[in-house]
Each structure stands twice: as structure tokens, then as C-alpha cells.
Structure 1
Amino acid sequence: MDSTSELPVILPRATKVPAPRQTPSLASKHVLVVGINYAPEPTGIAPYTTGMADHLTTRARSVTVLTGMPHYPNWQLDPQYRFRLRTREIGRQTGDEFDGVAGLGPNDGLLIRRLRHYVPSRQSAVRRAGYEFTFMMNCLSAKVEQRPDVVVAVTPSLGGAVAGARIARRAGAQLVVVVQDLMAKAATQSGISGGSGRVAAATAALERYAVRRADRVAVVSDAFRDQLHAYGVPDERIRLLPNWTHIHASGLSGPEARQALGWPQGVFTVVHTGNIGLKQDLGNLVEAARICAEHDAGVRFVIIGDGSQRSAVQDQARGLANLEFVDPLDGVKYPQSLAAADLLVVNERPGVGDMSLPSKLTSYLTAGRAVIAAVAPDGATAQELRRTDGAAHLVAPGDPKALAESVLALRRKPAHCNEMGVLGRVYAEANLGRDAAAARLDALIEECLTP
């Protein structure tokens, strides 16, 4: 079976990156960042929100972050925050330097305000509403010492975006909404219990409220534009702000990485990392592993991460000797796990289209390993992977037989897998660098501050 050559090929588009500009006006301004996910959460949206705040700290007079208590991806409160209602933390929370500049900003630095909120151990529309509502109300009641000149609200959470819009209006501040996920689409596409009908309509109304009040809306994928247009956001207010790679490739060969992790040698290793939730539909990967076990004993699957569906997926995989579950890894072992893979997997529930772009894509492409994606052919993930010009092989979602057949076909083509990995790394170096992302963010903030 061929790789993406079977699919319509879209060559990488030349990415126009704004030239770095000095932003003296920002040096005297106060920035408020609102987002429920933040370091030390290791995956998902947190690394990007944290990176933006760290970068803005090097530019602005001060940056305040309103965020939640660490709880993702396992949807359990970090034990050290379990009995705390609110916290104040000063300074950088991660070693992931957005633009290579560490430390505090030109004047007052970084203040992180953590606010208690409901954390559902199981996902449903009602529980999700409680999660969003409690964070929103705590944001609106929180005292912000410095009146912000710019508010950057990150969705998800939707409650945080709505709160950011209200705070910006009260303060007379400019509002930037960064759309990592489209929450109304997520309500219908992710498979969350009770997520259709009135819940989806209410979510869409809140999402529309936040983005229509934004001076600029930043999207991580152009696939989100149509929904924003439907909300009444004119295209001239929408800017593309792709996520950047927040890991460094380990530099190890596959055998070296497997040795470092204690993984077996001499088997074709297929790895999935990140959240184990409804959207990821990893039961599909379990069944593909089952089919592979019947046809080829030399294929091993590894699912790394945690999430609301991990127990259910583990139950489904009981008895499979060729599939292993691994807890989330630290900043050293995670890049090693990517290097240890012969094939990296993106898997999405059938029906997931333009609601989100998996944050793992930047890490996968940077790692220089072949990618296989069981995703909707017209969705945001497929659109992004086609831009790599051959780094990924796309198969239909929800079809474990097709996924297994593709894995086995790629196992028989090691040279082709290596070529796919090289193409991914080339694309990442050209399009997913921190400098380009920092320049885009600077230009976006400067645009808001320019009369």
C-alpha cells in the first residue's frame, strides 16, 4: 500500500512570517492571559499557553495569568493543589522557552493566579458545563492588580474566553482570542455524552459571544475560519497563529532510544502519545493491534499518556500481548519515546473534522518519524498533514482493519518510513519554529495596540 502519494498532494505553501519588529509600546503595557490549562501540565494546550505568557513577559511591562489548578491529562487535581482554593505564583513555570529568552520581562515580570474549579473525573456535557462555569465565575471574581491593556484569552476553556471578553470590556482593553479548539464543534463531534441539541446550541452562543467581541481572533488552523465566519467574525480580524514545536528531537536512533527506555529491540514499534479521551477513539487502535497480532508477531503498539477513557481502553485491550500502556513521560523520556517509534499514530473519532488540531502533531513532525493518521479526510488534521508533502499516511477513521493493513504495509517499507520521517522534520524546521511563532504573536499584539 502506498503512502500519501495515493491522496491529492498539496505542496507546502510558503509561509509569510511577519518580520520581527520592535514593540516599544508593549514595554509599558500590562497583559492578562486567561486559560484553564497551564504548566506544569505536560501536554495538550498548556505548553502553548505557557509559552505565550513566557514570551510576552519578555516584551510587556507585566503579565498576569488567570489559570486553573493542574489537572490534565488525567482529569485529577495535582495532589499539591488539592486543598487550595487560589494561589499566587511568581515567575516562569517551565523550562520550555518560547523564544530562547529566559527570566522575567523588562519591568514587573510574571504573576500566575491559579483558581479552583470543578474537575470532572468522567466526561459528559453537564459535567463539562460545571467545569467551564466554575472557572469562568472564579475568573470574573478574581482581583487583577494591574488593569490590563491587552487580554489574551485561550479556548479551551470556553468559560475562560467568555471571562476574558468580560474583563477586557470592563478594563477597556484590547481582546485577543486564541482558538485552539472550536468548542461548539467539539460538543457534537467528540462523542461527549449529552453534547448535541441544546448543549451544542448554548456552547455555540457562548463561543460566538467571545469571538465576536475580540479585536483579533488567532487560529491554529485555517480550517477554523469558516466557523468563525459563520459566527460573524470578518476575515480581516482573523490571524493564523500556528502552534510551534515545544520539544527538541532526542538525537537518538531508534535502537538507541529503545535501549534508553528499556523497550524491546527488533520489533516494528507503533506509538501513540497524548490524551486518551473520547475524541481520540483509541479503541480503534486497540482493534488494529489485535488484527496485527494475528498476522505479524513483529509489530508492537505503545499508548503513552492518560485521560478520561484510559481505563475503558485498557479493559478493551486486556489480553493483547503486543500492546502496552505507558504513563505520561517527562521532558527527557518523551522525545526518546518518539525517537523509539518506527511509526507515530494520530487517531480521531469518526466525525471529528474541524473542531481541533492535535497538539501532538508538532512533536511528531519534529521527531523525524513516519506518521499514520486515522482521521477524516477533509478535517483540520488531514489538511495540516497534507501540507507536509508526504510525511504522513492517511487512512479512514473508525476502520481498524484499514489501519492495521496500513501499519503492516509500512512495516514492509522501512526505507519509505525513513523518507517520510525526513519530510516531516524538514516541514517542522521550515514552519513550526519558535522564532516564527514569536514573530507572529508580536505582530498580532502590536496590531491591536496600534491606533
Structure 2
Amino acid sequence: MNITIISHNYFPEDSGIGLYTTGMAEFLAKKHEVSIITGVPYYPQWKIYSNYSDSPLFVNEIINGVNVYRFKQYTPQQPTFLSRIFQMIHFFFGSLFNCFKIKKTDAVIVVMPFTISIVLGWILKVLKGGILWVHIQDFEFDAALSVKIYAKSKFYSKILFKIEKRILQKADFVSTISKSMLHKLAQKMIVSQLYFPNWIDYSKIDPKSAVKSELFNSTTFNVLYSGNIGEKQDWEFYIKLVKSMQCIPEIHFYLIGEGAKRMSVREALKDCSNFCYYPPVSYDQLNNVLCNADVHVLFQKPEFKDVVLPSKILGMMASAKPSIVTGHEDSEIKVNFINSEGGCYFDENNLETIKENIVYLKNQTVVAQIMGFKARKFVIEHFSHENILSKFQTELECRVSEKII
């Protein structure tokens, strides 16, 4: 079977959508002919990687059995709503040229965001045949409207969602990464849907193979946030929490990552002796970082419920360390933490509650160990990469077979 994937993010990006798109492509390539139309790597630093900065506009590579067709897209150093739109449009027109390099395809898989890439998939389907499968990692229009005050007018929203609906209707099948996002999709349109969650390679995130990380102070209780430092997290609350706990020197906060909010968070906490920032680590070092923390934290803005499902949750849980997470009261993440008993989930960012729980986990080491054990057990049982990718491949093969028949 010939499969073409269209995704803005791909290897060597080793976090977020790039990580999961690469995993999907390389898994499928063990059995099928797989090509990917993508951009040059830039995430999460929002800067084109040095080994691609001098590359030509179009680059063709073969990486781990996957044919990679890249376009050197515009990449804003400071992403804004408008600069992201320009990035989408630039990627679209450059990748349109790459579509004509595909000789044959039985299935086109488009990874969202970007919504406009579905049009690329539809063009490729018209030219070469096969089915069009859209996989939603992010509802980008919903996310944009959640953070842009000026974009919240009903008129503006109506236009965006009409465009989204019209484009999504070009797909034969649509999958997304959470059941709550499937529910949101059903509200938008009637379409054949599939639950295709992100996964964890628990052999790569495993406390048994982790070694001591030089980033952490071995004499303190270390509270970690590792991931994108963006609009979807409540950084005002994080800043208040760190400042309020300076009186407990044995508890230290670590922020590891990159994103639009990085500079403002670092500036606000520059004088705090209980805080350290580090840039993102490579994926082969992530195990050492996650497994050497004492507790993970993630403070979400509740308005992003059903819009995104943070993939970092799986790594946090696989590390066998407890997590403290906040978000919407009806969040699917809340259900996972209740079922797993692998951490604490709260419906609001209450300063005293979070402080009390951090101190509690510091003092109750046995309780923390049990929580961590249960968290890892849960993700291995429900989100292992072998099971999820095997089921997806089988479903894809069945859909293609039905189309051919």
C-alpha cells in the first residue's frame, strides 16, 4: 500500500506533533511505502534547525524508510495569530509543488493543524486516487479563538467554523486523539470518526533505565514542568505559586521547554532562588529528566477543554512519578487521573490547595511512590505504542480495502 502523510511537523522534531507523526510514519513504513510532505524543522524553538537553515527551498530525503519531501516554510521567531496564518499559507503553496512529486497513493493522511493542509490532501486524492484521512491533533480555530480576545465575536467565529466545516467535509474519515475531541468533532459535522490517541513508548520513558540528570539539585524536592511554554497553560498561576513557595527552600521548581511565554515567565521569576529554567532537552535525554523529577505539574486554562489534549501527560505518567494537574472540571485528563489514581487533578487553580499537595507529596514519599507506580501502569495498559499503532494500521488497511472493493 502507498501512503502519503501531510504534516507541518516531522523528524528531527522530537516533541509534540512532530514526534507522533514521525512515529506513525515509521511504524507504517515497516509494512507499506510511506511518503511525507512536510516543512523544515523549527519546533519548539520557533527557529529553523541549524542543519536546515542553509538548505534549498525544496529538500528530498529518505529517513528510516520514509520518503521525506520538505518545503522550507516561513517561520516567525515570535509567533502571532497573523504570522501563523502566513506560515500556513506559505507552507500550503510550497507543499502543493511537492504533491506533484507523489507518483501513487492509496491513502492520504493529513495531520491537523494546519486545517488548510486538508485541501492539499484533497488535491492529492483527486490527482492520485485513494482515501483522504484527516487526523486532528489540535482544533486550531478553537484554540485561536480561545486566546484572541478580538477574535471572539460571533461573526468572526461563524466565518472560521464555516470554513473549517467545509474543508473537513472533503475527508473520507476523521480521527482525533481524545474522546472529548471526538465529541466536539461530532458537534461540528457528521463524519466517519475514529479514536486514535497519542501513545507512549514506555521503553523510552522508563525509570529503570534513567540515570541521574545534572539539571536537578539532588538535595531538594524537585517540581517539574517540561514542555511547550505557550498560551494554553496558566503561567500567571505558575508564577504566583513559585513566588509563594520561596519560603520553603527545600522545594525547587524547574521549567524546561520553549514557547511564546518563555521570556515573560523567566523575567517574572528571575529573582526567585527556588526556580531554574533550561531549554528543551533532546528526546534521548527526556527519560532522565522526567524520571528524576519528584512531581510533575501542569496548570491548564479551562477554556481549552476539548480543543487539545496535552501529549506531555503520557510522558509524565510513564515516568512513575506523581502529577498535579489543573484544568476544566469535565476534562478527559481528569477522568484518566481518577481511573489511574496516578496523581491529583483539580478543577481550579487554587494556590493554597496546590501548595498543600506539593508539600504533602514531599512528606509522604510512600504515597508519592504508589501514585507514580499506578500512573505508569495505567499508560502502559491503555496507551502503549504497539497496541495503538497496530490498531490504527489495521483500521487504515480495512478502509482502503473497502474503497478499492
After the TM superposition, which of the residue ranges 38-47 and 134-143 deviates more from structure 2?
134-143
Amino acid at match of 2:53: R
Unaligned stretches of 5+ residues in structure 1: 1-28, 93-103, 105-109
Q: Which residue does the alignment assign to 2:200?
A: 245
2:111 pairs with 1:154: yes
2:310 pairs with 1:353: no
Q: How does 1:102-251 map to 2 (within 5 A)?
A: 104=65, 110-142=66-98, 143-189=100-146, 191-192=147-148, 194-197=150-153, 200-234=157-191, 237-246=192-201, 248-251=204-207
Q: Which residue does the alignment assign to 1:407?
A: 358
- TM-score between both structures, scaled by the size of structure 1: 0.83
Deviation at 1:202, TM superposition (A): 4.2
After the TM superposition, which of the residue ranges 400-409 and 323-332 deviates more from structure 2?
400-409
CA offset digits 1:48-72 (Å, max 9, x no partner): 1001111111121x21101111110
**How far, CA to CA, are the matches of 2:366 and 2:138 in structure 1?**
36
CA offset digits 1:154-205 (Å, max 9, x no partner): 012223233223322333220111111112221122x246543365444423
- TM-score between both structures, scaled by the size of structure 2: 0.92
**Alpha-carbon spacing, 1:146–1:193, altered in 2? closer, same or farther (3 Å):** farther
Deviation at 1:311, TM superposition (A): 0.8
2:315 pairs with 1:363: yes
Q: How does 1:381-400 map to 2 (within 5 A)?
A: 381-388=333-340, 390-400=341-351
Deviation at 1:43, TM superposition (A): 0.8
Residues 174 and 194, structure 2, Cα contact 8 Å, conserved in 1 = yes
Deviation at 1:214, TM superposition (A): 1.8
Q: Aligned match of 2:274 in 306, 322, 341? A: 322
Q: How does 1:18-167 map to 2 (within 5 A)?
A: 29-60=1-32, 62-83=33-54, 84-92=56-64, 104=65, 110-142=66-98, 143-167=100-124
Secondary structure of the structure 1 residue equivalent to 2:283: coil
**How far, CA to CA, are the matches of 2:22 and 2:6 in structure 1?**
11
**How far, CA to CA, are the matches of 2:7 and 2:151 in structure 1?**
22
2:249 pairs with 1:288: no
**Alpha-carbon spacing, 1:134–1:86, altered in 2? closer, same or farther (3 Å):** same
**How far, CA to CA, are the matches of 2:315 and 2:383 in structure 1?**
10
Q: Which residue does the alignment assign to 2:292?
A: 340
Secondary structure of the structure 2 residue equivalent to 1:132: helix
**How far, CA to CA, are the matches of 2:184 and 2:158 in structure 1?**
14
Q: How does 1:291-306 map to 2 (within 5 A)?
A: 291-294=244-247, 296-306=248-258
Residues 88 and 113, structure 1, Cα contact 8 Å, conserved in 2 = yes
Amino acid at match of 2:124: I
**How far, CA to CA, are the matches of 1:386 and 1:203 in structure 2?**
35
Deviation at 1:378, TM superposition (A): 1.3
**How far, CA to CA, are the matches of 1:323 and 1:341 in structure 2?**
14
Secondary structure of the structure 1 residue equivalent to 2:245: helix
CA offset digits 1:46-104 (Å, max 9, x no partner): 111001111111121x2110111111011111122223311101122xxxxxxxxxxx3
After the TM superposition, which of the residue ranges 396-405 and 124-133 deviates more from structure 2?
396-405
After the TM superposition, which of the residue ranges 195-204 and 131-140 deviates more from structure 2?
195-204
Task: Please provide the CA RMSD for this pair.
Answer: 2.1
**How far, CA to CA, are the matches of 1:275 and 1:262 in structure 2?**
18
**How far, CA to CA, are the matches of 1:370 and 1:325 in structure 2?**
21
**How far, CA to CA, are the matches of 1:383 and 1:164 in structure 2?**
34
CA offset digits 1:278-330 (Å, max 9, x no partner): 11233322221111113x22111101111121111101112011111111112
Residues 47 and 246, structure 1, Cα contact 8 Å, conserved in 2 = no
Q: Which residue does the alignment assign to 1:439?
A: 390
After the TM superposition, which of the residue ranges 31-40 and 76-85 deviates more from structure 2?
76-85
**Alpha-carbon spacing, 1:277–1:199, altered in 2? closer, same or farther (3 Å):** farther
CA offset digits 1:326-385 (Å, max 9, x no partner): 111123321111111110112212422111111111111111110110211212432343
**How far, CA to CA, are the matches of 1:443 and 1:204 in structure 2?**
32
Residues 125 and 195, structure 1, Cα contact 8 Å, conserved in 2 = no
Q: Which residue does the alignment assign to 2:263?
A: 311
Secondary structure of the structure 1 residue equivalent to 2:240: helix
Identity over aligned pairs, percent = 22
Amino acid at match of 2:329: P
**How far, CA to CA, are the matches of 1:230 and 1:137 in structure 2?**
30
CA offset digits 1:372-422 (Å, max 9, x no partner): 10211212432343342x112112444444433332232232221111101
Amino acid at match of 2:9: N
**How far, CA to CA, are the matches of 1:86 and 1:401 in structure 2?**
53
Amino acid at match of 1:40: P
Q: Aligned match of 1:271 in 211, 218, 224? A: 224
Q: Which residue does the alignment assign to 2:375?
A: 424
| Structure with greater contact order relative to length (CA < 8 Å, sep ≥ 6) | 1
Amino acid at match of 1:292: M
